[in-house]
Amino acid sequence: MSGSIRYTQVDSPVGPLLLAAHDDGLRLVEFQSPRHPVPVGGDWQPGRNAVIDLAERQLGEYFGGTRRSFDLPLDPHGTAFQREVWWRLAEIPFGETISYAQLAQRVGKPSATRAVGAANGRNPLPIVLPCHRVIGANGSLTGFGGGLATKEFLLRLEGAMLL
């Protein structure tokens, strides 16, 4: 990892987002009232860097309807299992949804639906690693760190909800 972690708040249609990154990758996209806030460490400093600038631009394009996937250097911190779940999220196509059971199968742990759901809920890069695309087996919008209204907004933006 090179340099300290920079962080700043940016505006979005789903409210302010806290972005944090070091020069090698995006570490955090956090909603205003996160369910599992990431503690700001001693090497975190207010400010911007090239990764934050790129993330802000790509998020703007996503919310503007011109970007369907992200091309950012990523550096989410978590356990090996959590990171495996998070990387699988990136494989869910724009505008599509899968169930937690399907995600567990993709991770290679079909009996670990609950653990996969817990890892999904700790995703430090929501929107970029699209945990909002994971829904209940019956099609219900289950828990989401940014709130269910935000999850619904993101799915509607992607055309995954026709109601």
CATH of the domain at 38: 3.30.160
Residue 85 sits in the same domain as residue 41:
no
Residue 57 sits in the same domain as residue 117:
no
Q: Which pLDDT score is estimated for 163?
A: 45
Q: Are 134 and 92 in contact (CB under 8 A)?
A: yes
Does a structural domain hold residue 53? Answer: yes
Q: What is the pLDDT of residues 70-126, one digit of tens each?
A: 999 999 999 999 999 999 999 999 999 999 999 999 999 999 999 999 999 999 999
- How many residues belong to the chain? 163
Q: Considering its fold, how many domains does the chain have in total?
A: 2
pTM for the full model? 0.91
Q: What is the pLDDT of residues 13-57, one digit of tens each?
A: 999 999 999 999 999 999 987 777 777 777 899 999 999 999 999
CATH of the domain at 108: 1.10.10.10
Does a structural domain hold residue 74? Answer: no
User: Active-site residue numbers?
Assistant: 131
Dist CA 59 CA 84 (whole Å): 23
Q: Are 59 and 127 in contact (CB under 8 A)?
A: yes
Structural domain span for residue 20: 5-63
Does a structural domain hold residue 75? Answer: no
